Amino acid sequence: MDLKGKIAFVTGGGSGIGAAISKQLDQAGASVVVFDLNEEAKEITRSFENESLFTKGNVAKSEDVNRAVEEAMNKFGRIDILVNNAGIFRDKKLVDMSEEEWNGVLDVNLKGAFLIIKKIAPLMKQSGYGKIVNISSVSHKGNFGQANYSASKAGLVSLTNTAALELAPEITVNSIAPGSIDTPLFRSMDEKGKEKFLKKIPMKRVGQPEEIAQAVLFFSSDASSYVTGTLLEVDGGLTTGLNLK
C-alpha cells in the first residue's frame, strides 16, 4: 500500500486517532496536509519524512475550509486523499441537551465533512482520481447520552453512501467506525469503568489509534480500488450480533 507521490488532507490530523492517521500516511509515502483547530498540532508535521503542510482552521466554517484547501492546492497542486477525522462530543441525556450542544456536535462532525467534501471532490474529479475516508463511530447505531454524537456519526455513514454514488467512478468514498480506542478519554476512566467496558469486547482490549490508521491506509491506497460506499467497523468485535447484551 504505497502512497508515494500522493497528497493527503487530514482534518483533525494533529492529535489522537488523527495524528496516527497522519503519521501512517506519511510513512506510506504521502505528503500530508494537517488541518486542525489546535495550533499545537503543527508540531506533528516536524517529524514527517515527506513534505507537509499545517493549516489552522475550523471544519465547520466554510471560510476556513476554503482557505485551507486553497493553501494545499497552492503548495501541492492537487489533493488525492481526504480523511474526514475531525470530531467533537458533548455528551448529555437527550432531554437535558441544549440546542447549542446539539448544533455544535452536528456542525463539526457532519457539516464539516459536507463542507470539505463539497470543496475537494470537484478537484479530485478534475484530476480523475480521489480517495475519501470518513471516520464515523460504532455509536452511529445509537448510544446512551450521545444523541448528538450518534446522530452525527450515523449521518456521516449516510453521507458516505450518497457521496460514493455521486462521485463514482473517479472517487471512492468509504467510512470507518472505530470502537473503544486507547485515547486520553479512555485512559481517564476509572479502573472499574474500564473493566466493565472491556468485558463487552470479545478481544478483551481496546484498540490502538494505529489500528484505525491501518484501515485508513487501506481505503487510501489502490488496494481498495474496487471498494466504495463501505463501512468498516474496527471495534474488536464490540458490535457483533452475538455480543449485543
Angle between helices 62-76 and 112-127 (to 10 degrees): 30
Q: What is the dihedral of CA 169, 53, 215, 204, to 10 degrees?
A: -150
| Catalytic sites, residue numbers | 149
Spatial distance between the Cα atoms of 100 and 102, rounded to a whole number of angstroms: 5
> Torsions phi, psi of 11, nearest 5?
-85, 145
CA 96-16-120 angle, to 5 degrees, is: 90
Helix, strand, or coil (residue 232): strand
Are the C-beta atoms of residues 139 and 153 closer than 8 Å to each other?
Answer: yes
Spatial distance between the Cα atoms of 52 and 74, rounded to a whole number of angstroms: 13
